Homo-oligomer: A and B are copies of this chain.
């Protein structure tokens, strides 16, 4: 096992034993995506746990009026997944699409389950990742209620500056819950 392998950043010797790493790491398969390709499509059951080594992706749903609403952005080190479809084995409402070319590492559901139930550190890590996503979502919920669009944008700018640079205005707008017109005006206002 090469020690400069990307996954060694995700599964560090501080948390996993040498023996566990030898079981875990080889189970991942490297997969590349070209810009605009889908990692997951609406109606399918999420069957992969994807770690991103490079590139950007976004997830979106189509609302009842047919509007495309961005639900999240993903970049290096992130897990690009619909947790509920993956764990509950339900068809997903989400699409996950590559915004740039990407390199990812995948685990399928059965392999994930095997590691989850057999390795306590893997299980704890998975739980922490899921809870981390949950926490972010809860904070966003409060921000949606308490903050104006401009503040939500500034917050995103601070938290994920690399995202802003790689994602089109219209996708950022739906993520923030506003129209592209409003976001364009907010940017203009900030610039001055």
Q: Which residues of A contact B (CB under 8 A)?
A: 61, 63-65, 67, 69, 71, 83-84, 87-88, 117, 120, 123, 127-128, 130-135, 137-138, 140-142, 144-146, 174, 177
Contact = CB atoms under 8 A, between A and B. Distances in A.
A88 B127 CA distance: 9
Contacts of A133: 134
A153 B63 CA distance: 17
Q: What's the number of copies of this chain in the assembled complex?
A: 2
A134 B83 contact: yes
A131 B92 CA distance: 13
A144 B87 CA distance: 25
Nearest to A67: B146
Contacts of A140: 141
Nearest to A94: B138
Contacts of A142: 61, 63, 69, 71
Contacts of A174: 145
B120 A120 contact: no
